């Protein structure tokens, strides 16, 4: 896949063809409503007439006399008995719409994307729809749908989702679930008859949210086979769906999960579904990931500067802020190569623990009698950026702002929501509350020249109401607006989205933040799986990956500095560890690691992510291959004790077949192993072609459980 080929949109015989390298969509409007005849690999210019015949399934007894394809709208008025795309009503009326295409067109949106636009209406129901399908140069299909009330009286919208059919060979679903400290764990299941629904009702995407809803064939792996996926560009309540109807056809759907009565359209008012990104690959799940990464990286707002090595002090000092300790920590950080120093929770108001002060965005005079300037100046004198923690959407009841404005919280009239982490949610749809947060946060950022903010969100929304009405939708739009305004007021400011770690990692927030805190889990073994699947659609340079302490604060496990460092390398690397407690050996290993990261971060953050299929379930193999195939970095991770005394060989796919490469093993602080000697390539390196490395591979060393080895691959003629 390349970024330099322009996608196309053509019309033939009332069939719209949207195509980009490796993917094609055929949208038929000849029957008066939109029917997707094909979404997948290019069809070698099959004619619309032939495509319609190929899609026709005939008629069975017990069906309608002339059965029709449900189309993208899946209307019950056409005889579809599954979940319709649109559900709503006008009192007891207009509950069963029947849309017709009024006009359709294809265009170029002048930024190199191909676009198809359909206008549909149901005049009897007083409703109009606009469907916009945009094919990006990277082969990502973006779908936007707007519903307008053209009738009399209020129309209550219950759901408007985007649906796309998948071929019959897509017989499995793949989505992701999890919890705090264990986000985005894969679940692969048969696409059984009926409806699979993954709902997020936290008011944020949540730790249990599926980052993408996929359908795959039985043979699909990370490296090979076909995969289809839909992902919502939204950070509020969500719904992702997979359905196989009684006819036997499968489809994927996604949309915003609306609270009862949350969207009520007065005459002339409209609602637009959050954009849905549709991803197809015939090169396995990694091909799907590559499309998503290329698309996100092509955005003008994508962080393009080298991602600095970041030290966050939360697990180093927690709430124990002390200037002498923190300046000493900054000195130690600079010595090992840290480029950004982030002061976490506890610098403001009466915030000595998590029970008070949240929402009072004024530097604590008790802890910082001279303000933050002494620390900020010291950090910047060491040529590091300075970052600061906020949780601007939240408030402690024990805070000045809540005592003054108890009405500034999301709530249902007459009651206060239950506390979570001793806090409530500020109502950013309240104009005064929004203005207060924006101005207070901006004053601190601009006053101290803050380069970067870590923005946390430590509780789910409960009773998320404003003036008696549901407000999750408008609250989500408000945080997008606030982030955009902070960056407008403070050019160059970078924002990390954190929500108790990975509770708000989604493609919607990716449009407004520069980095995600992938998880509060800093245990390197647990992180291997979390990072592996979060990066399916989010590129590594947007994922915070830190070297945590030993033992891990979340699991108590003790891992070598080498295992922790290699795990943290594959993302926007950093440190979450009190370096004042580190030994000289550990500090030397970290210094070597930051040198390696800085030398290779362009590759790590612009290359193609590869998740290697490996025969040994006790080991993981993954890496990043440069776009030109000139170099690569892989990790072999021994997650548990291997079954054989000589571990299985592992392959290094994605390299150029006829090119000779130098291969060497790299560690940081030494390798935990139990062998009499390591394989020869580990001790002395080896030269081999890309073909040999992808087929024969390398024999893995005999490592301790929960240990890792880095493999560096470079062209011999480089």
In whole angstroms, give the CA distance from residue 546 to residue 530: 13
In angstroms, rounded to a whole number, what is the distance separating the alpha carbons of residues 541 and 525? 20
Can you tell me the distance from the alpha carbon of 148 to that of 108, in angstroms, rounded to the nearest whole number? 24
| Phi–psi pair at 440, nearest 5 degrees | -65, -45
Q: Which of 144, 208, 345, 520 is catalytic?
A: 520
CB of 369 within 8 A of CB of 340? no
Query: Left, alpha or beta for 537 (phi > 0: left; psi -120 to 50: alpha)?
Result: alpha
The answer to whether 563 touches 706, Cβ cutoff 8 Å, is: yes
Residue 603 has which token pair?
A: 């590759």
Among positive and negative, which fits the CA dihedral 298, 300, 301, 303? positive
Strands 263-265 and 213-216: unpaired
**Which two tokens mark 124?**
């009897």
Least Cα distance to 252 among 282, 207, 218, 210 occurs for 210
Q: The tokens of 123 are what?
A: 């005049």
Helix (H, G, I), strand (E, B) or coil at 632: strand
Cα(528)–Cα(570) distance, rounded to whole angstroms? 10
DSSP state of 581: G
Instruction: List all residues 6 or more positions away from 627 whose beta carbon is below 8 Å from its beta carbon.
Output: 606, 607, 608
DSSP string, 221-267: -SSSB-EEEEEE--SSSEEEEEEE-TTS-EEEEEEE-PPTTSEEEPT
Return the structure tokens found at 37: 């005849």
The residues pairing with 342 across neighbouring beta strands, listed in sequence order, are: 312, 387
Closest Cα partner for 579 from 327, 231, 210, 291?
327
φ and ψ at 422, to 5 degrees?
Answer: 60, 30
| Helices 323-336 & 373-381 angle (0-180, nearest 10) | 20
The residues facing 106 across adjacent strands are 116
370 is known as an active-site residue = no
Q: Judging by beta carbons within 10 Å of its beta carbon (0-12, 13-18, 19+), is residue 199 exposed, middle or buried?
A: middle
Closest CA to 553 of 375, 312, 355: 312
Find, among 598, 609, 633, the residue nearest to 539 by Cα: 609
CA–CA separation, 676 and 581 (whole Å): 33
Q: Which residues contact 510 (CB under 8 A, 6 or more apart)?
A: 233, 296, 516, 538, 542
DSSP state at residue 76: G
| Catalytic site residue from 456, 463, 506, 616 | 456
Residue holding tokens 């692969």? 188
Residue 421 CA to residue 345 CA, distance in Å, equals 13
DSSP 79: T
Contact 297, 290 (CB under 8 A): no
CA distance 549 to 630: 34
For 253, the token pair is 């759907």
520 in active site? yes
Per the document, the length of the chain is 718
Burial of 210 (0-12, 13-18, 19+ CB in 10 A): buried
For the annotated catalytic residues, the residue numbers are 456, 520
């Amino acid at each position: 896949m390349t970024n330099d080929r322009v996608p196309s949109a053509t019309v033939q015989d009332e069939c719209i063809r949207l195509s980009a390298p490796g993917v094609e969509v055929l949208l038929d409007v000849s029957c008066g409503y939109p029917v997707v005849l094909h979404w997948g690999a290019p069809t070698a210019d099959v004619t619309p007439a032939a495509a319609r015949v190929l899609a026709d399934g005939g008629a069975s007894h017990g069906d309608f006399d002339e059965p029709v394809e449900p189309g993208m709208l899946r209307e019950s008025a056409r005889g579809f008995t599954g979940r319709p795309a649109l559900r709503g009503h006008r009192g007891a009326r207009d509950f069963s719409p029947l849309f017709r295409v009024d006009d359709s067109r294809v265009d170029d949106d002048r930024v190199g994307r191909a676009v198809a636009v359909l206008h549909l209406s149901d005049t009897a129901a007083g409703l109009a729809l606009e469907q916009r399908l945009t094919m990006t140069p990277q082969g990502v299909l973006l779908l936007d749908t707007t519903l307008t009330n053209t009738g009399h009286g209020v129309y209550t919208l219950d759901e408007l989702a985007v649906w796309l059919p998948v071929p019959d060979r897509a017989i499995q679903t793949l989505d992701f679930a999890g919890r705090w400290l264990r986000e985005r764990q894969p679940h692969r299941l048969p696409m059984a008859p009926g409806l699979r629904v993954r709902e997020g009702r936290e008011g944020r995407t949540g730790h249990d949210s599926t980052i993408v809803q996929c359908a795959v064939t039985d043979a699909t792996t990370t490296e090979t086979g076909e995969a289809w996926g839909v992902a919502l560009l939204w950070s509020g309540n969500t719904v992702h769906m997979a359905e196989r109807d009684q006819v036997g056809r499968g489809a994927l759907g996604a949309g915003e999960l609306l609270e009862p009565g949350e969207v009520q359209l007065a005459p002339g008012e409209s609602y637009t579904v959050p954009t849905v990104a549709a991803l197809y690959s015939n090169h396995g799940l990694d091909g799907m990931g590559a499309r998503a990464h290329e698309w996100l990286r092509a955005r003008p707002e994508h962080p393009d500067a080298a991602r600095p090595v970041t030290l966050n002090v939360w697990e180093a000092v927690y709430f124990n802020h002390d200037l002498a300790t923190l300046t000493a920590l900054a000195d130690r950080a600079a010595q090992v190569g840290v480029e950004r120093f982030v002061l976490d929770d506890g610098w403001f108001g009466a915030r000595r623990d998590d029970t008070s002060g949240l929402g009072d965005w004024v530097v604590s005079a008790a802890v910082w009698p001279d303000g933050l300037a002494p620390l900020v100046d010291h950090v910047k004198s060491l040529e590091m950026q300075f970052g600061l923690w906020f949780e601007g959407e939240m408030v402690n009841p024990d805070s000045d702002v809540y005592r003054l404005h108890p009405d500034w919280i999301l709530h249902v009239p007459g009651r206060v929501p239950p506390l979570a982490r001793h806090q409530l949610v500020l109502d950013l749809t309240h104009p005064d509350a929004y203005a207060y947060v924006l101005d207070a946060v901006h004053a601190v950022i601009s006053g101290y020249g803050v380069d970067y903010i870590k923005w946390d969100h430590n509780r789910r929304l409960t009773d998320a109401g404003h003036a008696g009405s549901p407000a999750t939708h408008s609250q989500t739009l408000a945080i997008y607006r606030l982030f955009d305004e902070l960056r407008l007021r403070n050019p160059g400011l970078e924002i990390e989205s954190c929500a108790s770690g990975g509770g708000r990692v989604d493609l919607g927030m990716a449009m407004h933040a520069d980095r995600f805190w992938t998880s509060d889990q800093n245990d390197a073994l647990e992180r291997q799986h979390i990072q592996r699947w979060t990066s399916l659609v989010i590129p590594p340079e947007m994922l915070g990956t830190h070297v945590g302490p030993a033992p891990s604060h979340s699991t108590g496990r003790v891992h070598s500095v080498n295992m922790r460092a290699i795990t943290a390398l594959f993302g926007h690397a950093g440190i979450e560890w009190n370096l004042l407690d580190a030994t000289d050996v550990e500090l030397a290993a970290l210094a070597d690691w930051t040198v390696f990261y800085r030398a290779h971060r362009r590759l790590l953050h612009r290359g193609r992510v590869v998740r290697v299929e490996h025969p040994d379930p006790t080991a993981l193999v993954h890496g990043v291959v440069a776009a030109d195939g000139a170099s690569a970095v892989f990790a072999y991770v021994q997650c548990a004790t291997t079954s054989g005394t000589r571990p299985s060989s592992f392959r290094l796919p994605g390299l150029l077949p006829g090119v000779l490469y130098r291969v060497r093993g790299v560690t940081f602080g030494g390798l935990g192993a139990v062998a009499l000697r390591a394989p020869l390539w580990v001790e002395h390196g080896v030269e081999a072609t890309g073909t040999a490395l992808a087929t024969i591979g390398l024999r893995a060393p005999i490592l301790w459980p929960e240990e890792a080895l880095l493999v560096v691959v470079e062209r011999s003629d480089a």
